[in-house]
A and B are shown apart, each in its own frame.
Chain A
Amino acid sequence: MVRDKPKTQWFLVWQMVRVSLTVQFKKSFLGLTWLFLAPIFAIIVWVVLHGAGVITPGETSIPYPAYVLISMSIWGFFADAYFNMSNVLSNNARILLTTSCPVQVLIIERVIVQLIRFSIPMVFNIIVLLVFGVDLHLLGVLFPLVIIPLLVFGIAIGLVVSLFRIVAIDLAKIMDQAIHFLMFLTPIIYAPKLDIPWIGSIVKYNPLTYLIGVPRDVLTIGGSDQWSGFFWCSLISGLFLGLSYFIFSQNEKKTLERLINN
């Protein structure tokens, strides 16, 4: 069918978002409450670990459990962007091979679902932190803006890897592992300023240091000393997304037809 109106595209996006958000909870009594339970478990784990003195991080600007909680949420946002996009073809192969659903609709749907899934627990986290007496800065209202480059970076990598997931599975698996490993090379569970020189160098040249660090700093202290790195990494992320989408759109259909058993 000809989709000549953006209105019909958005209606399809809305339908797909609705399915993604509700179908897994159709049989659940707790339903969407699960979106709030996950961060509660995360808080408990980190408070317990901190209380037990298991982790000895560097100096952080806010209490360590709060630092980790926010950092992990932002990291999760990046990881979700990557994993959602890198599976956009393989997870939706049947729909893409048997209906005229444009892949762009699925990309937008993934982004919207991710934003919803991130923002609900994030707001919840912030409330919990305020209740526990952690001071967050008023300029933290800019947080939704400064987190966009991180989303862009995750989508950019994910779109290219989504092609690999069909024709170069080894590469896609290596990328998945690399993303997991990258968490330990990014100041998530430790402070950005480290005493170990070689890790310090890696952290310095890791774009996620800035793309995650600045949103966290804006939320917690209302500013950052990493703006320059953030600016360049954001610019590169934007350009990377342009290139990545070009490669994806040129190859999406040709790659999809290489799926076996569909």
Chain B
Amino acid sequence: MSLTAKEFADPSVLLEVQNLNKKFCQDIRHNMLYGIGDIGRSVVGYKADYARLRAKEFWALKNINFQLREGEILGVVGANGSGKTSLMRLVGNIYPVESGTIYARPGIKVTSVFALHSGMQQLYTGRENVFLKGALYGMSREQIQEKLDFIINFSELGDRIDNPLGNYSSGMRARLAYAIALATDPDIFLLDEALAVGDSVFKTKCFENLKSWVKMPGRGVLFVSNNVRKILKVANRTLVMEKGEIIHDSTDISEALQFYIINCLKDLDEASRQRKLQKVMDYDF
């Protein structure tokens, strides 16, 4: 398990990431060789020094530290390859934590949504997929039965819940998948670009739901997106990542996003930067 249970001195803290590092290899053949080597080492019980980068390796995450508190929708932004998804996969127990620690309040439930439709079957009906996806989220049959009406109502599918998923529009699929994720009733929600699909009305409904949901005691959201407008609308704190590091942490969302965009344009000269910045602001804010 990647999460280490911990009673925090500050009772508002749900999750704490300390000195988290993750390295990957940028070359396929080296990647394979290191993989074989790691398996060999594990057989003989030898643990390599994680702090040392081997040839062609790079830090996908470097010395990451932050806390997630109750009531927070913590938006994580960063350019492609900045380490957002790696961070989420570590917190979501997909990748093993090999360097650093992720502490969580004891008994906390985490629901990770990395790909809304992952595991769902096109040839199964919406209803069958509710049970399948619910089971993938760790729900029992009884829990799913209990939440079935909520899922059908929230997804606004009505009678179409008994149609094959393959016949749904992308928006309908997103509505169903998001409703199932919501029905898991977690303490922490990890959303990785999960709300990139669906129509505007449904997206608005999801955001409103997320904002009211997080106000309940013991709830928090870690929300990764490259969409500045979404972060602006939904987050109440923002982390900006670059090359595997957190370079900005602010509760002033607008300021943090401006910092992010300016940082993305830092290699341009002043005039070009101002021009691009204005375009992004006009488009995204």
Residue ranges of A at the interface with B (Cβ–Cβ < 8 Å): 1-3, 5, 7-8, 11-12, 14-16, 19, 23, 26-27, 94-101, 163-164, 166-169, 247, 250-251, 253-255, 257-258, 260
- Tell me if B281 is interfacial: C-beta within 8 Å of chain A: no
A26 to B137, CA, bound (A): 24
- Tell me if B11 is interfacial: C-beta within 8 Å of chain A: no
- Tell me if B138 is interfacial: C-beta within 8 Å of chain A: yes
B179, chain A: closest CB distance, angstroms: 15
Contact flag A8-B95 (CB < 8 Å), given A167-B39, A258-B31: no
- Tell me if B89 is interfacial: C-beta within 8 Å of chain A: yes
Question: Chain B contact residues (Cβ within 8 angstroms of A): what range?
Answer: 35 or more
Q: From B32, B98, B109, B136, give the contact of A12 (CB < 8 A).
A: B136
Q: Which residues of B sit under 8 angstroms from A94, Cβ to Cβ?
A: 115, 118
Q: From B32, B109, B119, B131, give the contact of A168 (CB < 8 A).
A: B32
A253 to B95, CA, bound (A): 6
Query: Which residues in chain B, 69-124, are within 8 Å of chain A measured between CB atoms?
Result: 89, 92-96, 98, 107-112, 114-115, 118-119, 121, 123-124
Knowing that A164-B36, A258-B32, A258-B35 touch, tell me 15 more A-B residue pairs with CB under 8 angstroms.
A1-B110, A2-B110, A5-B140, A94-B118, A95-B118, A97-B94, A99-B137, A100-B93, A101-B119, A250-B42, A254-B35, A254-B38, A255-B38, A257-B96, A258-B25
Judging by beta carbons under 8 Å apart, are A96 and B94 in contact?
yes
A104 to B121, CA, bound (A): 21
Judging by beta carbons under 8 Å apart, are A99 and B114 in contact?
yes
Judging by beta carbons under 8 Å apart, are B43 and A247 in contact?
yes
A-B contact list, 25 entries, CB within 8 Å: A1-B139, A1-B184, A2-B108, A3-B138, A8-B138, A11-B141, A12-B135, A12-B138, A16-B135, A23-B124, A94-B118, A97-B89, A97-B94, A98-B118, A99-B119, A99-B136, A100-B93, A100-B94, A100-B112, A100-B138, A163-B39, A250-B42, A254-B98, A258-B34, A260-B28
Produce 1/0 per residue, B21-49, CB < 8 A to A: 00011001001101110110011000000
B135, chain A: closest CB distance, angstroms: 4
Contact flag A100-B136 (CB < 8 Å), given A1-B186, A254-B38: yes
Contact flag A7-B32 (CB < 8 Å), given A15-B131, A100-B92, A253-B95: no
Q: Which residues of B sit under 8 angstroms from A166, Cβ to Cβ?
A: 35
B27, chain A: closest CB distance, angstroms: 11
Which residue in chain B gives the minimum CB-CB distance to A171?
A: B36
A167 to B132, CA, bound (A): 30
A7 to B109, CA, bound (A): 17
Judging by beta carbons under 8 Å apart, are B121 and A23 in contact?
yes
Which residue in chain B gives the minimum CB-CB distance to A24?
A: B123
Q: Which residues of B sit under 8 angstroms from A3, Cβ to Cβ?
A: 138
Judging by beta carbons under 8 Å apart, are B28 and A97 in contact?
no
A164 to B40, CA, bound (A): 11
Residue ranges of B at the interface with A (Cβ–Cβ < 8 Å): 24-25, 28, 31-32, 34-36, 38-39, 42-43, 89, 92-96, 98, 107-112, 114-115, 118-119, 121, 123-124, 131-132, 135-141, 184, 186
Which residue in chain B gives the minimum CB-CB distance to A8?
A: B140
Q: Which residues of A sit under 8 angstroms from B137, Cβ to Cβ?
A: 1, 99-100
Which residue in chain B gives the minimum CB-CB distance to A94?
A: B118
Q: Which residues of B sit under 8 angstroms from A7, Cβ to Cβ?
A: 140
Q: From B34, B43, B96, give the contact of A253 (CB < 8 A).
A: B96
Interface centre among B39, B96, B98, B108 (most CB of A within 10 A): B39
A7 to B36, CA, bound (A): 36
Judging by beta carbons under 8 Å apart, are B109 and A1 in contact?
yes
Q: From B108, B118, B123, B135, give the contact of A11 (CB < 8 A).
A: B135
Q: From A12, A95, A255, give the contact of B39 (CB < 8 A).
A: A255
Which residue in chain A gives the minimum CB-CB distance to B107?
A: A2
